[in-house]
């Protein structure tokens, strides 16, 4: 899936895994996602891909710098923490959507040229595409939402 506007129809450091069919707490397993990190992690987002892997993206803050980070959590050994965004101000939580069998899009709102923009980047095992600006450059855009429409298209919205 390539980056094109026409294709769009206009504390995360720790958590828990539990059986979807169970009661929650009794079957819980603790998970540490960014144990080596030095950031204040918050606002997580998750997506499960058709290949069975689960990805997580989150907002990370350290020394007056905002970033979006992502990591493949499984199956198997977790992948490395990937830096998804460039430095700058980031608003609210990133959102994720499956892009294919083994990759996902991460979308977030960031301040660029005194405007809030919706940015996106496709991530996967060993791959990371360039950051794309997806919102109109003449106005502010915040709080992205996204979903997969079909095999070839995503819908991305913002306020």
Q: Do 25 and 11 contact (CB within 8 A), yes or no?
A: no
Average predicted confidence (pLDDT) for the chain: 80
Give the pLDDT confidence of 71-128 residue by residue, as tens digits.
998 788 888 889 999 877 888 899 999 998 889 999 999 998 889 999 999 998 777 7
Banded model confidence at residue 10, pLDDT cuts 50, 70, 90? very low
DSSP class per residue in 95-153:
EEEE-SSSEEEEEEEEEETTEEEEEEEEEETTEEPPPEE-S-TTS---S-EEEE-SSS-
Give the pLDDT confidence of 34-78 residue by residue, as tens digits.
766 676 677 889 999 988 889 999 988 877 788 999 999 878 888
Q: Whole-prediction pTM value?
A: 0.80
């Amino acid at each position: 899936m390539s980056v094109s506007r026409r294709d769009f129809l206009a504390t995360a450091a720790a958590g828990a895994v539990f059986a979807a069919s169970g009661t929650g707490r009794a079957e819980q397993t603790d998970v540490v996602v960014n144990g080596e990190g030095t950031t204040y992690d918050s606002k997580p987002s998750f997506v499960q891909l058709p290949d069975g892997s689960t990805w997580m993206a989150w907002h990370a803050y350290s020394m007056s710098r905002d970033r979006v980070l992502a990591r493949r959590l499984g199956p198997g050994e977790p992948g490395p923490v990937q830096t998804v965004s460039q430095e700058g101000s980031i608003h609210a939580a990133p959102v994720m959507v499956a892009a294919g069998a083994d990759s996902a899009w991460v979308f977030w709102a960031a301040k660029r040229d005194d405007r809030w923009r919706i940015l996106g980047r496709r991530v996967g095992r060993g791959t990371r595409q360039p950051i794309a600006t997806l919102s109109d450059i003449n106005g502010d855009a915040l709080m992205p939402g996204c979903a997969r429409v079909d095999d070839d298209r995503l819908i991305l919205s913002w306020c």
